[in-house]
């Protein structure tokens, strides 16, 4: 075998082939790993993506939607005829709405107006009531999407506020599912896990599990330029945030479900690089995803170049399906309207 060619991880059965389920809920999780090929040309370190778009709702948030509702049912916070309320950037709402549809609950979600039209339509397609809130208000404003959701929950009889930013069932879901899946799928060979905190549940829960199995595994967080997480991790200061266009990751306040003790480092990436990589993933790897995944893969490729080791194994999270960003990341007019012509110019140059 040519020593310059990284050895592939032997295939591990995902457990999906030929399965028969009683409901769509049972199809959540057990998502495959896919190795990047063209994007890693010239890079010796293998990079795999964890395909969370394979979940029924098309995103990693299906996992916590199920976990939070089942925990609320067990504790008596949510009963027959109840209402699930949440402030969401879209994907958690979809995960909650799928479980609610199966269990017969009503859903009311608040969502900031910067989120894609596709996400809003998806929530309504699952029968959820959607309240659009302004994006340009501070976290202490009553119309901030999380605060608006809390007010609705307080005013609605039988309501359960999922509260993903503070609900311990969020990281626990990934500790119990995502982490063990990655460990098993790589045969314990994973050396780096790359994700990006929004609530922080995915990277915290997965990171905790992996580090308990092997403390040498590096947990690397990508953060959008404008989010407060990266600066806080380095200095302990909550610097003022700035607007950014990538959806669902980063934050303008500290989330109660991001546990910095399980994250080794933060790296900051801007909107242009994030969107450019998302478009490259679709065109060069056949993987349609959003800007958050583009950011994560950009970080993973940087780490892979630095590690430069064919025996290492980097796993990056593919957060969701790019179908919910067709009007944004994959729309040339939208990119131009938001000053991102450079993304298109770079594509044109590379195709010449």
Q: What is the pLDDT of residues 243-254, one digit of tens each?
A: 999 999 999 899
Assess whether pLDDT exceeds 50 at residue 33: yes
| Amino acid 349: pLDDT | 80
Residue from 50, 61, 211, 328 carrying the catalytic annotation = 61
Assess whether pLDDT exceeds 80 at residue 6: no
Long-range CB contacts (within 8 A, 24+) of 144-150: 145/87, 145/88, 145/110, 145/111, 145/112, 146/87, 146/110, 147/87, 148/87, 148/110, 149/85, 149/86, 149/87, 149/108, 149/109, 149/110, 150/87
Assess whether pLDDT exceeds 60 at residue 152: yes
Residues of the chain with CATH 3.40.50.1100: 24-54+176-340, 62-161
Mean pLDDT throughout 301-317?
Answer: 98
What is the secondary structure of 82-105 as a DSSP string? -EEEEE-SSHHHHHHHHHHHHHT-
Span 160-215, pLDDT tens digits: 999 999 999 999 999 999 999 999 999 999 999 999 999 999 999 999 999 999 99
Q: Which of 11-25, 161-175, 291-305, 311-325 has the lowest mean pLDDT?
A: 11-25
Alpha-carbon Rg of the chain, whole angstroms?
Answer: 20
| Amino acid 240: pLDDT | 77
Assess whether pLDDT exceeds 80 at residue 1: no
For the beta sheet containing 129-133, the strands, ordered from the edge strand earlier in sequence to the opposite edge, are 129-133, 106-112, 83-87, 159-161
**What is the distance between the alpha carbons of residues 90 and 114, in angstroms, rounded to a whole number?**
11
Assess whether pLDDT exceeds 50 at residue 69: yes
% of the chain residues with pLDDT over 90: 87
| Amino acid 352: pLDDT | 63
| Amino acid 9: pLDDT | 64
% of the chain residues with pLDDT over 70: 95
Mean pLDDT for the chain overall: 93
Residue 119 falls in the annotated catalytic set: no
Q: Burial letters for 237-251: b for 16+ Cβ neighbours within 10 Å, e otherwise?
A: eeeebeebbbbbbbb
Q: Where residue 92 falls among pLDDT bands split at 50, 70, 90?
A: very high
**What is the distance between the alpha carbons of residues 173 and 292, in angstroms, rounded to a whole number?**
20
| Amino acid 241: pLDDT | 82
| Amino acid 73: pLDDT | 98
Mean pLDDT throughout 323-328?
Answer: 95
| Amino acid 335: pLDDT | 97
| Amino acid 284: pLDDT | 97
Q: Are 173 and 67 in contact (CB under 8 A)?
A: yes
Q: Where residue 10 falls among pLDDT bands split at 50, 70, 90?
A: low
Q: What is the CATH number of domain 24-54+176-340?
A: 3.40.50.1100
Identify the burial level of 207 via C-beta atoms within 10 angstroms of its C-beta, where 0-12 means exposed, 13-18 middle and 19 or more buried.
Answer: buried
Domain 62-161: CATH architecture, name and number where available: 3-Layer(aba) Sandwich (3.40)
Mean pLDDT throughout 151-157?
Answer: 97
Tokens of 198: 């929004």
| Amino acid 17: pLDDT | 59
| Amino acid 123: pLDDT | 95
Neighbours of 187 (CB within 10 A): 11
| Amino acid 239: pLDDT | 83
Assess whether pLDDT exceeds 50 at residue 5: no
Nearest alpha-carbon partner for 195 in 179, 213, 183, 180: 179
Q: What is the chain's length?
A: 352
**Contacts with 30 (C-beta within 8 Å, 6 or more apart), sequence order:** 14, 15, 16, 181
Q: Where residue 2 falls among pLDDT bands split at 50, 70, 90?
A: very low
């Amino acid at each position: 075998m040519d020593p310059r060619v990284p050895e592939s991880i032997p295939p591990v059965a995902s457990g999906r082939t030929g399965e028969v389920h009683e409901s769509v809920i049972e199809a959540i999780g057990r998502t495959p790993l896919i190795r990047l090929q063209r994007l890693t040309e010239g890079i010796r370190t293998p990079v795999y993506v964890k395909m969370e778009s394979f979940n029924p709702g098309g995103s990693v948030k299906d996992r916590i939607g199920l976990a939070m509702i089942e925990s609320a049912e067990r504790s008596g916070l949510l009963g027959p005829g109840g209402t699930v309320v949440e402030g969401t950037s879209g994907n958690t709402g979809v995960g909650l709405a799928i479980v609610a549809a199966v269990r017969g609950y009503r859903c009311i979600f608040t969502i900031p107006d910067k989120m894609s039209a596709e996400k809003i339509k998806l929530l309504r397609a699952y029968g959820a009531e959607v309240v659009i809130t302004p994006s340009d208000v501070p976290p202490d404003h009553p119309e901030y999407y999380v605060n608006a959701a809390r007010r609705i929950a307080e005013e609605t009889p039988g309501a359960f506020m999922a509260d993903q930013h503070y609900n311990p069932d969020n990281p626990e879901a990934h500790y119990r599912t995502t982490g063990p899946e990655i460990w098993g799928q790589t045969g314990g060979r994973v050396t780096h896990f790359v994700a990006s905190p929004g609530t922080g549940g995915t990277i915290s829960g997965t990171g905790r599990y992996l580090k308990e199995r092997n403390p040498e595994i590096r947990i690397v967080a990508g953060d959008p330029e404008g989010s407060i997480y990266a600066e806080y991790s380095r200095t302990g200061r909550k610097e003022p945030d700035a607007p950014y266009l990538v959806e669902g990751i980063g934050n303008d306040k500290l989330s109660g479900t991001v546990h910095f003790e399980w994250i080794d480092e933060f790296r900051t990436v801007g909107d242009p690089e994030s969107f450019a990589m998302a478009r490259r993933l679709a065109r060069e790897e056949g993987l349609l995803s959003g800007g958050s995944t583009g950011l994560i893969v950009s970080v993973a490729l940087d780490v892979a170049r630095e590690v430069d080791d064919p025996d290492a194994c980097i796993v990056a999270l593919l957060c969701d399906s790019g179908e919910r960003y067709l009007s944004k990341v994959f729309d040339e007019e939208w990119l131009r309207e938001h000053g991102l012509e450079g993304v298109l110019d770079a594509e044109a140059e590379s195709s010449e």
